Amino acid sequence: MPMVISGNRDPNVAYRFNPNANVHGRDTRVVKSLEFIRACGLHADAPVIDVSGGTPLLIESLLDAGFSDLTVINGSPAVLEALSVRLGDRANRVKLIEQDVIGFHPHRRYALWHDREIFHLLTHAEERQQYVESLEEALQPEGHLVITTFGPDGPQEYGGLPVRLYSARTLPEELGSQFELVEHSLSMHQAPSGEVQQYLHCRFRRHAPGRTLSPE
């Protein structure tokens, strides 16, 4: 049930938005994602893909910021339907794809790949390799990756499933040499169960073929 994006923003004007505008006091993970996305300096018509799928506050904030080329993928039709209902009249401005990120072969490339909750659930090396292959296939040269995982002192499981914990050293090693870590931070988030969990937030830049990124 993909929905075609329709946007009428000036593509020559970089977007501006307050990352705390709609999510202050709600979810520090979304706030941090928005801060890192803003730091990427993308234009409003830059193609953006969110592979988390279950982060309506993020998508709403990006629409509020004027982004006109948003794609969301998730393997659960219920998650996508819930997002569509949440977006209401704006749902036709987001392309929804029912697809697991593992084995995802995009038909286009994106300027930004955002992931809030998938990578730390991949406990098998083969799954992580397939994820990285999809990421490399989807992301433009010099594109941006904003990713959140559980931090080094995070929980050992999530929703009854085992997870992998990452640091600012181990996550770049897992993603490979194509991705340069630009900035990172740790935050604490209280889960609905009341447990306080540590998260690692990272912003990466993909290397252009044949050259090394200069420090920012």
pLDDT value at residue 29: 84
What HEC string does the chain produce?
CCCCCCCCCCCCCECCCCCCCCCCCCCHHHHHHHHHHHHCCCECCCCEEECCCCCHHHHHHHHHCCCCCEEEEECCHHHHHHHHHHHHHHHHHEEEEECCCCCCCCCCCEEEEEECCCHHHCCCHHHHHHHHHHHHHHEEEEEEEEEEEECCCCCCEECCEECCCCCCCHHHHHHCCCEEEEEEEEEEEECCCCCEEEEEEEEEEECCCCCCCCCC
pLDDT at 214: 41
Q: What is the pLDDT of residue 26?
A: 60
Rounded Cα gap, residues 91 and 86, in angstroms:
8
pLDDT value, residue 210: 54
As a whole number of angstroms, the distance between CA 33 and CA 60 comes to 13
pLDDT, residue 66, reads 96
Q: Could you say which residues of the chain have pLDDT below 70?
A: 1-26, 54, 210-216
Which pLDDT belongs to residue 16? 40
The domains located in the chain, with CATH, are: 28-206 (3.40.50.150)
